[in-house]
Structure 1
């Protein structure tokens, strides 16, 4: 039998709680009749008999019933709040990991953790309570019908009309609101990107233009959704007006029936109160429908995500690799466009060797680095580490044996120590060892809070070179067998370049496999092998001296060739 996804398991568990919630809702709604029954008895019994004892006992019973209602309502709301919290706790890590995996694979993700927030909001908010109360509306209508068929006819007609308004609201507004909701999410995501790169926008004088452009986009989205929102507001107002009209109609009809001796005064008042209880869930469902729409869209996105990124099979944990890399027929196509970036690359890199990747801009150097460390999955072909396909490794297990310095360095929210420890629990000696090996230890100690200095996307404390060197320490954390460095010298000053050279020597002495991309000829002296990429294909590959000699022979200007090899 096909195993169920974590999403299916969670939703099935929630459905299993619905029976208890429905029972609590039934009891709570029955107790809502307390005030109506109390009013009926006071008017028809107490006032007619003048019995203080009857009034006292009726009041005690009514108070006890209302206390019981309050406890049941508290139980319902706490149960829903816990369901919402449990749902987020169970699904958020799964959605985060699958969203990241799909974004790496396809360049986008069907869902993210904001969809979990929509799911939780529906379960723990007023929307689900309205839907749980709605099934008991017929019970109230039946009570009114038993009091008098004419009153029951008015009540049933009003309930059907309110339900029709709710259906009409959904049919007319669902599509336009769903369409604009996705675009609003993307526009808000763009705003986060603008905030993260505020320094670039400011330096280029782009803040005003960017703000105006973003605001125009939001206004356009608002205009597209305003018609649907206006219609929804109109229908909601109409439903409230209708409810008030029906309340008056019930009272007026009840008064006429009292005059005809077909109903008591207590029955007239009780019917009006019961009707308000009967129509309240229907009216609340109108306002809850939008929350349900968000829940439904979020659930569809999550289901698409879990289909696109199913549970991986449990794999045997492989031993620490020596660092032998083998690439066979590697091709990588850009997600979405399908444009080829890497074209049928095949080569071997023995353990303990250092490979320099050079070539013109756009030749695929950074893309190859990402494929070699498993950040990107090849469209075709395979990358093997010690004979095992990288995809056969669990991502976290594989990551312990790989170090990676991306071309664009990002430090995440946390301390420097936590960033070096890859956001895991920092092992003090491992953090210090990684920092010392790349010459970053003294630089970190010179900071006001040392290793406890906070970092993150909005941190202005660290320079680009400092972030680069901290990211180097992160790449070396845990003494990985394979280290990939994408332009490691791009932001370094003289001291940083000396520390980088010392790090490269240290890696070589430890017998680690190193791949680096660099435009600096000085770094090539650390390489055993050189690969020249051009238009996503291997133009040259072999021992360093052999490749450099061949390049110099084929060029009238060796200096120019080195310049062209930058990137």
Structure 2
């Protein structure tokens, strides 16, 4: 239950700093009255009495108060900064984990780490200070009212007008800005994808076309929110003009009251300064409203992400499985389109058996692989390893017993050794054993830095075949009971295929259960079983020789000619 409400817990823990910030805001706003009080005393007391000593002591007190204000202002900004950093550090890993879960469960994630950044920008920035300062505006207005009711009426009117502009700003800009931000985030995501496929774009002369297309989409996203931005700018500048107008009004009214002997000259100047301070938080809140809108939208998206994903549950750890794999009435529907990628699949493998999966492109072989390793949750049916449902195991524990080589191998930022160790602690003996078993050891040693060679998303120092062999070593790391290999020879040369055949022999000798998607005849020799998949349905499953015999067309079987009668 605690994990399920982690977002609320972290945000609630962050809000625990608000009482201290509220007190600091009260003190800082109180100290901001110093300049008004100083002016009031100088005009009404010092100039009237001509006392230099009074001026000196007033100046010393004012300077000390301003220094105190600077210290308290630094303190509350430091609290905000540390609080926002703490929220990001504690929330980001969970958001990353749930992003992966949502991507596999519903096809895409409704939130991202960018939303965490929006939370931080608001919680740790100047925008939230406007909201902490706003409650003290009535206090300043009350002080002005005590100085004279007419000045109080002007101050109240100014606050109401600016507050109305703030509400109007929210009504006009909230929805368009939310839509524009979502569109803009998608546009920047497309830009990252283009950079990731730079070789394809440049090799096929698509760079300029793609850049122009991206520019068009970027312009559409900008125009989508341009109206809201212009409206916000108009309202913000209007609020500034109105605030300056009310300051002139209060000076004029104060001057009239001075002429009527109902107010002192110092009171007139002080009232103008206090009004500026009273209206400033309201004006700042208008400019900060965009940040608050982003915060509110980000919080809603993160809350939605937590609703559609499950927290890891505490379960009893199971012993290492022997490798008995069974799939019963598997069916999988694409999360967004509800298209049936896998329609009917049922089979069973004993520990140590190798099953080759055959089928045309688009028949569902890769989808089946993701179901078998537990990456995807079946829409119907189940996959079990030694009788335990794949979905009942936590991902970290299941991963120790399962090795997966996808068709497209991506390696992560870190060394080759770290990639083979699945980005966990590098245990040298296990890394070397996996590399040797996959046939990648000599290839890795031939690299300039060997196992310490740094990799990453944009690393271009490895060929597709080298990446595939490192990916196979990663799948073999820790001697898992089940290995699922999706087209493991697609990028391999002759030596790589020989190494793969030897690796399959070692897997069989180690009694590891293997499911391998392949069209290479030499790899079929290692198989005990063959499964044929077509249009998401397993149409054949059985012993290798029997399936191959059934797949050979009858007209290709040589017929013996009858002996001529003697």
- TM-score, length basis structure 1: 0.96
The 1:100/1:557 distance shift into structure 2, 3 A limit, reads farther
Aligned match of 2:531: 531
Q: Give the length in aligned residue pairs.
A: 558
Match of 1:547 in 2: 547
CA offsets per residue over residues 380-410 of structure 1, 9 Å max, x none? Answer: 1111111110111110110111111000111
Deviation at 1:555, TM superposition (A): 4.5
Q: Distance in 1 between matches of 2:389 and 2:327?
A: 10
> Does the alignment pair 1:284 with 2:284?
yes
* Larger mean Cα displacement after TM superposition, 344-353 or 55-64: 55-64
Provide structure 1 residue ranges, at least 5 long, that are not aligned to the other structure.
560-567
- Paired residue for 2:46? 46
Identify the residue that residue 563 of structure 2 maps to in structure 1. Answer: none
The aligned residue for residue 235 of structure 1 is: 235
1:345 — aligned with what?
A: 345
Q: Residue in 1 aligned with 2:163?
A: 163
**For the Cα contact (< 8 Å) 2:313–2:394, is it kept in 1?**
no
The residue aligned with 2:117 is 117
Residues 1:558 and 1:132: Cα distance change in structure 2 (over 3 Å): farther
How far is the alpha carbon of 1:98 from its aligned partner?
Answer: 0.7
Query: Could you say which residue in structure 2 is the equivalent of 1:563?
Result: none
What displacement does 1:443 show?
0.8
Is 2:60 the counterpart of 1:36? no
Q: Paired residue for 2:331?
A: 331
2:399 maps to which residue? 399
Deviation at 1:14, TM superposition (A): 2.3
TM-score (norm 2): 0.97
- Quote the residue 2:478 is aligned against: 478
Question: What is the CA-CA distance between 1:53 and the residue it aligns to?
Answer: 2.0
Instruction: Tell me, in whole angstroms, the C-alpha distance in 1 between the residues paired with 2:556 and 2:198.
Output: 42
Partners of 2:467 and 2:4 in 1: how far apart? 43
How far did 1:155 drift?
A: 1.1
> Which secondary structure state, in structure 2, belongs to the residue aligned with residue 542 of structure 1?
strand
Q: CA RMSD in A?
A: 1.4
**1:66 Cα offset (Å):** 1.6
Is 1:249 paired with 2:249?
yes
TM-aligned CA distance change 1:345 to 1:558, over 3 Å: farther
Determine if the alignment matches structure 1 residue 273 to structure 2 residue 273. Answer: yes
2:90 is equivalent to residue 90 of structure 1: yes
Q: Is the 8 A contact 1:343 1:537 kept in 2?
A: yes
Q: What secondary structure does 1:531 align onto?
A: strand
Q: What is the rounded CA distance, in whole Å, between the counterparts of 2:178 and 2:3 in structure 1?
A: 31
Q: SS at the partner of 1:526?
A: coil
Bigger CA drift: 380-389 or 222-231? 222-231
Task: Determine if contact 2:355/2:514 at 8 Å carries over to the other structure.
Answer: yes
- Give the conservation status (yes or no) of the 8 Å contact 1:251–1:272: yes
Separation in 1 of the partners of 2:187 and 2:22?
40
In the alignment, the residues of structure 2 paired with residue 328 and residue 26 of structure 1 have an alpha-carbon distance, to the nearest angstrom, of 66
| Structure 2 counterpart SS, 1:287 | helix
* Cα drift, residue 313 of structure 1: 2.3
Partner of 2:14: helix, strand, or coil?
A: helix
Q: Which residue of 2 aligns with 1:24?
A: 24
> Within 2, Cα distance between the matches of 1:253 and 1:556?
108
Contact persistence 1:439–1:503 (CA under 8 A): yes
- What is the alpha-carbon distance in structure 2 between the residues aligned to residue 546 and residue 40 of structure 1? 103
Distance 1:94 1:272 in 2: 50
Indicate the residue corresponding to 2:380 in structure 1: 380
User: Per-residue CA shift, 1:190-219, capped at 9, x if unaligned?
Assistant: 110110001011111111111111110111
**1:324 Cα deviation from its structure 2 partner:** 0.8
Match of 1:135 in 2: 135
**Displacement after TM superposition at 1:227 (Å):** 1.4
Contact 1:122 1:291 in 2 (8 A): yes
Paired residue secondary structure (1:357): strand
Question: Is 2:133 the counterpart of 1:126?
Answer: no
User: Using a 3 Å threshold, how does the CA distance of structure 1 residues 558 and 157 change in structure 2: closer, same or farther?
Assistant: farther
Distance 2:198 2:263 in 1: 72
Q: Is the 8 A contact 1:5 1:310 kept in 2?
A: no
